[in-house]
Amino acid sequence: MKLRRTMLYVPGNNSGMVKDAHIYRSDSIMFDLEDSVSLREKDSARLLVFNALKTLYYGEIEKVVRVNTLDGPFGREDVLAMVAAGVDAIRLPKTETVDDIVQVEKVVVEAEKRFGRVPGSTKLMAAIESAKGILNAREIALASPRLVAIAIGAEDYVTDLHTTRSPEGTEIFVARSLLVMAARAAGIMAIDTVYADVNNEDGFSREVRLAKQLGFDGKSVIHPLQIPIVNAIYTPTKTEVEKSLRIIAAIREAEERGSGVISVDGRMVDKPIVERALRNLELARASGIEINEEVRS
Amino acid sequence: MRITQTAAAGTLESSDVLITVEPEADASVHIDIEGASAARFGEQIRAVVAETLAGFGVVACRVRLQDKGALDCTIRARLSAALLRATDEAGPISWETLK
């Protein structure tokens, strides 16, 4: 199971951050060539990330690059360079339609062929940042087998909606839920938006818990301090792991006895609960928690 | 590639390098390194610069590096950007051969 609890934004023209990005142990690193890079530095940032990806070792961390949109002068060259450098995934910003995915996939296919990369090895992610994009999320999520995740970019979204972000997130509630549903329907992951107030740890924790409760698989983060908070919230607790183990043990025992209905801790256990228990155990294993191998599904 | 104008790339932030490339009238390469790392890593930096210049086919220019502890890959990136900004001949980049 690939974890994407935390995706750390790294400005693509900041050589110090590009160099050190792996030490904070996020699940993914997202090198940004888009909004964090000024127009006059686009060429230099592209070369910096290209050389870093070719040279530096980021271990098991997934390497993602947010490219510029293809309708501008930088996007196509960004995609070519990053595929040449061996990026794991291209993240497309401001995705509004299926055609946006089709166009970026065309360039990726061309680049994989040109640079001798394994066909299909470059994954795609799409950030949805407008009302139009949210309403098209279902189709976007199904637009390419390369697509592994869709994400919501809330700042642009609320601007498009003619509102602003609130601590409660009321204004993005529907968009978040639609995005998660679109991801689930397509069998891919949903990544929540960034939280800009780095010093507000309580507010950040609340938002991460909300995103997890809504079904998101992880969150884009803009500061290393946010990483352990997200990882902790997304890692099953010892109590959750133990309960999941009891559920799986009970269902196996029931199967052996030929009984279809069981209860654990005084509550009826049926198929969805078993699925949640299996997923919890899978998440726990992926998070590095040791689990008795006998209960492996 | 012929260097036709002065151009720079990079920054003076930690772990970066600010590289300025200038045209050179005589057919030769001059490399000036400033910064605390010049004494210890000067030869290695010169080798990276020479290799990058060769990759672009540059045989005449002056390169000035203000180093703030950049890795070799950062030096290659910033020098590549400076060279491409300093020439009139920059066409599509051959990413497959770029080092």
Hey, is the C-beta of A274 within 8 angstroms of any chain B C-beta? no
From the list B73, B81, B96, which residue is nearest A114 (CB)?
A: B96
Q: Which amino acid is residue A29, in one-letter code?
A: I
Predicted local confidence at residue A263, as pLDDT? 83
d(CA B88, CA B98): 18
> Are the Cβ atoms of A19 and B14 closer than 8 angstroms?
no
Residue A30: DSSP 8-state: E
Predicted local confidence at residue A106, as pLDDT? 98
Is residue A295 scored above 60 in pLDDT?
Answer: no
d(CA A84, CA A67): 14
Predicted local confidence at residue B46, as pLDDT? 95
Q: Which domains does chain A have, with CATH numbers?
A: 6-234 (3.20.20.60), 238-295 (no CATH)
Angle (CA) B69-B71-B75 rounded to 5° is: 95
% of residues, chain A, pLDDT over 70: 98
Higher per-residue confidence, B44 vs A290: B44
Predicted local confidence at residue B26, as pLDDT? 85
A296 falls in which pLDDT band (50, 70, 90)? very low
The domains of chain B are located at 7-85
> Are the Cβ atoms of B96 and A15 closer than 8 angstroms?
no
Higher per-residue confidence, B36 vs A296: B36
Q: Kindly list the distances between the CA atom of residue A92 and the CA atoms of A103, A113, A126, in Å, as whole numbers in the listed order.
A: 11, 20, 5
A289 falls in which pLDDT band (50, 70, 90)? confident
> Are the Cβ atoms of B13 and A15 closer than 8 angstroms?
yes
Tell me the shortest Cα–Cα distance from A38 to chain B, in angstroms.
13
Residue among A20, A33, A48 with most chain B CBs within 10 A, to mutate: A48
The nearest alpha carbon in chain A to B68 belongs to: A16
pLDDT tens-place string over residues B42-94: 899 999 999 999 999 999 999 999 999 999 999 999 999 999 999 998 778 88
* Chain B contact set for A14 (CB, 8 A): 13
> Are the Cβ atoms of A47 and B74 closer than 8 angstroms?
no
> Are the Cβ atoms of B14 and A16 closer than 8 angstroms?
yes
pLDDT tens-place string over residues A58-75: 999 999 999 999 999 999
Tell me the shortest Cα–Cα distance from A16 to chain B, in angstroms.
5
* Beta strand spans in A67-209 (E): 89-92, 123-128, 147-152, 189-192
pLDDT tens-place string over residues A166-221: 988 999 999 999 999 999 999 999 999 999 999 999 999 999 999 999 999 999 99
Residue among B49, B85, B95 with most chain A CBs within 10 A, to mutate: B95
> Are the Cβ atoms of B81 and A47 closer than 8 angstroms?
yes
pLDDT tens-place string over residues A130-177: 999 999 999 999 999 999 999 999 999 999 999 999 988 999 999 999
Radius of gyration of chain A (CA): 20
Is residue B35 scored above 90 in pLDDT?
Answer: no
- Tell me what the mean pLDDT of segment A30-58 comes to: 97
d(CA A166, CA A171): 7
A293 falls in which pLDDT band (50, 70, 90)? low
d(CA A28, CA A52): 15
pLDDT tens-place string over residues A1-20: 789 999 999 999 999 999 99
A91 falls in which pLDDT band (50, 70, 90)? very high
Report residue A20: phi and psi, to 5°.
Answer: -100, 0
- What is the token pair recorded at A291? 């689990």
> Are the Cβ atoms of A19 and B96 closer than 8 angstroms?
no
Q: Kindly list the distances between the CA atom of residue B40 and the CA atoms of A142, A248, A278, B63, in Å, as whole numbers in the listed order.
A: 54, 61, 56, 19
The nearest alpha carbon in chain B to A50 belongs to: B77
d(CA B41, CA A157): 48
Domain formed by B7-85, architecture: 2-Layer Sandwich (3.30)
> Are the Cβ atoms of A55 and B71 closer than 8 angstroms?
yes
What is the 3 state secondary structure string of A9-25?
EEECCCHHHHHHHHHHC
Tell me whether strands A147-152 and A123-128 are parallel, antiparallel or unpaired.
parallel
Q: Which residue has 């210049």 as its token pair?
A: B53
From the list B9, B73, B96, which residue is nearest A44 (CB)?
A: B9
* Chain B contact set for A54 (CB, 8 A): 73
| ipTM of the complex, rounded to two decimals | 0.96
